[in-house]
Structure 1
Amino acid sequence: MRLTVEAGGLTLQNPTILAAGILGTTGASLKRVASMGAGAVVTKSIGVEPRYGHPNPSMIKLECGYINAMGLPNPSYREFLQELEVARQAGVPVIASIFGANEAEFREVAEGLPGASAYELNVSCPHAKGYGMQLGTDPALVEAVTRAVKGAVDVPVWVKLTPNVTDITAIGRAAQDGGADAVVAINTVKAMTIDIDSGYPILGNISGGLSGPAIKPIAVKCVYELYEALDIPVIGVGGISNWADAVEFLMAGASAVEIGSAVYDGLEVFASVSMGLSDYLERKNMKLEDLVGLSHRVVKHEAHKC
């Protein structure tokens, strides 16, 4: 079954994408993920200056997923440029995840990392002071940052949104107004955990972001709302670990899906999701594009019948 899809200005051989921050620190690791079946890969979030991130422990596994507070560690765009060149040999689109404290920094990083297939603006990290969601909760700032990067590059610009807001569609509309080619929903949900023997928070940063299966219903709802509100594509991410999860996101309105936490259980997840999706479409006698937004059409059809 044909799985080629147009998503946010890119052509993907299948709708699975490696999410930002997962095995995206080197060009070699990005190439490896591509060789295991990912339709595209997203790099680690890269900024203007090197950052060492938060003190350990910076990531813990829970029954329902993971909580991490990495703190955007990265070597800076100057040092990462060589890794991007290596990643471009992967044979799939390479999307550079970038961050900054303001529009000027976002633009500097985008211009300093030429050659990416697209840029994903991280305005949603919940645990890096002065970055991420501290910008991404303000529609005016999101619009300004998006417009600054869009005016500096000639490839698609995606904006990764935070769920830690009252109305995610307001942020999505701001990204769209700034010229975004797609929005990515969602980043992690603010969370923490405490050691009951000492009473002390377990993470070195005290709190962090929850990912994995626990946030999938939140992510599906955000994708559903954004699909209704926007005219640009939505890329779904959050708790996807199998083909059925991917189908659910597509039905909610996602044009493609990013996979993050599930990678820790094996890189076979990309091929497994694609194969399962292909089998599902064949059983249903459907095309991939028939799935995108299907839930909306079903709801409207039932409402019309009433």
Structure 2
Amino acid sequence: MQPQDVDLSAPLGSTVLPNPLSTAAGCAGYGRELARFVPLDALGTVTTKTIMPYPRSGRATPRLAETPSGMLNSIGMPGSGIDAFVRQELPWLAERGARVLVSIAGERLEEFAALVERLNGQPGVAGIELNISCPNTADRGLFFASNPATSYDVVRAVRKVTDPELPVYAKLSPDVTSITEIAAACVQAGADGLSMINTALGMVVDLETMRPALADGTGGLSGPALRPIALRCVYQVHAAMLAERIPPVPILGMGGIRSGRDALEFTLAGASGVAVGTALFNDPGAPLRILDELRAELAARGFAKYTDAVGLAHRPL
């Protein structure tokens, strides 16, 4: 098997993408900076930074800190709001042929629903990602993914008003007692897929000031340090799907992916797609490199299609 012969087609809900790779929300902005290094239409999807109903400045600085094999961020989802996004960013993305997975968040169910109603029918929008799990907003007030009931309510409210052809993915947090219960609630409410995972809540203390390194104390851990946790979450949820405790839906896996080998790990654990996040900060060309590496890893193992590798880590010995 030669790498160029591997079919990388991957699902997004019920639609089919040319390849399984996306950006992780918040790591490529609206795509303008990334487009200098990667043709946006070469990616399966481009996931935007999280959009909210209104302009938002985010949290106080300092709001980034390095950790061993990772990074903490307490950005707080700054942005220009849905009006500016629809007016300025979506047309620009559509002109470049990007398939856009729009990440959205709100403080109330009504805000999530209103955001989706603005996005229905917009050119270039390939799907919606519900950010119900951001760990670094003030008082974690937007952390709907902390229990099954609130997760269900958000997904249900959104699915009621979303174009039926538009897939809705719920983004889950590792900071819960049972991620399979949250996943089950989201799918039962109508989620077409799951994005797994968001950052994990962490902390760094600055020994010079002897105070927390981040202005707000805690932040979300991303990068390779998060990968074993993310893999565990994907594996557990896919196992629950195989056991018929959760209806099967695609999983978009993310958390410390830096290479084709990392992407293949997530795929074998049960992810039907992968997203690259923190790696973009020091290697903006990483998406195309990772796709090439993934193609080579699949070919070396005799896979003719990417989808043939999904979930193979669950096969009986």
After TM superposition, the score normalised by the length of structure 2 is 0.90
Question: What is aligned with 2:151?
Answer: 142
Corresponding position of 2:306: 288
RMSD across aligned positions (CA): 1.6
Separation of aligned partners in 2, 1:90 and 1:161: 29
Q: 1:131 to 1:151 in 2, by over 3 A?
A: farther
Q: Does the CA contact (< 8 Å) of 1:101 and 1:130 recur in 2?
A: no
* Aligned pairs (5 A) from 1:66-145: 66-81=71-86, 82-114=88-120, 115=122, 116-129=125-138, 134-145=143-154
Deviations 1:134-154 (A, max 9, x none): 211121111111111111111
Aligned residues: 298
CA deviation string 1:244-290 (max 9, x = no partner)? 00000000000000110001122221111111111122222212122
CA distance in 2, matches of 1:216, 1:132: 26
Work out the CA distance in 2 between the residues paired with 1:33 and 1:260.
15
Which of 261, 269, 285 does residue 252 from structure 1 map onto?
A: 269
Q: How does 1:154-233 map to 2 (within 5 A)?
A: 154=163, 155-229=166-240, 230=246, 231-233=248-250
Structure 1 residue 89: deviation in Å? 2.3
Q: Secondary structure at the match of 1:101?
A: coil
Structure 1's unaligned 5+ residue stretches are none
The amino acid that maps onto 1:264 is: F
Deviation of 1:200 (Å): 0.9
Instruction: Give the aligned partner of residue 50 of structure 1.
Output: 55
Q: Distance in 2 between matches of 1:173 and 1:34?
A: 35
CA distance in 1: counterparts of 2:18 and 2:38, whole angstroms: 11
Looking at structure 1, the residues matched to 106 and 142 of structure 2 have their Cα atoms a distance apart, in angstroms, of 11
In structure 1, what residue type is equivalent to 2:49? Answer: K
Structure-2 residue corresponding to 1:28: 32
- How far, CA to CA, are the matches of 2:237 and 2:59 in structure 1? 32
* Structure 2 contact 9–307 (Cα < 8 Å) conserved: no
> For each residue in 1:33-86, what CA deviation from the matched residue of structure 2 results, as whole angstroms up to 9, or x when unmatched?
650642211111011121111111111222311100001111111111121221
| Residue 19 of structure 1: aligned partner | 24
Percent of pairs with identical residues: 38
Amino acid at match of 1:12: L
In structure 2, C-alpha distance between the alignment counterparts of 1:176 and 1:88, rounded to whole Å: 29
* Distance in 1 between residues matched to 2:153 and 2:295, nearest whole Å: 40
Partner residue in 1 for 2:284: 267
The verdict on how the C-alpha distance between 1:77 and 1:106 changes in structure 2, with shifts beyond 3 A counting, is same
Q: Which amino acid aligns with 1:110?
A: V
Deviation of 1:29 after TM superposition, in Å, equals 3.5
- Structure 2 residues without counterparts, runs of 5 or longer: 1-5, 241-245
Could you tell me the TM-score, scaled by structure 1's length? 0.93
**CA 256–123 in structure 1, closer or farther in 2 if over 3 Å, else same:** same
Q: Any idea what SS the aligned residue of 1:117 has?
A: strand
Structure 1 CA distance for aligned equivalents of residues 295 and 77 of structure 2: 35
Q: In 2, Cα distance between the equivalents of 1:32 and 1:183?
A: 29
Contact 1:30-1:41 within 8 A present in 2 as well: no
Separation in 2, partners of 1:28, 1:62: 27
- The equivalent position to 2:251 in structure 1, one of 230, 234, 243, is 234
**Aligned pair in 2 of structure 1 residues 133, 52: CA closer, same or farther (>3 Å)?**
closer
Map of 2:3 onto structure 1: none
Q: Show the counterpart of 2:243.
A: none
In the aligned structure 2, how far is the partner of 1:264 from the partner of 1:138?
32
Structure 1 distance, partners of 2:133, 2:225, is 18
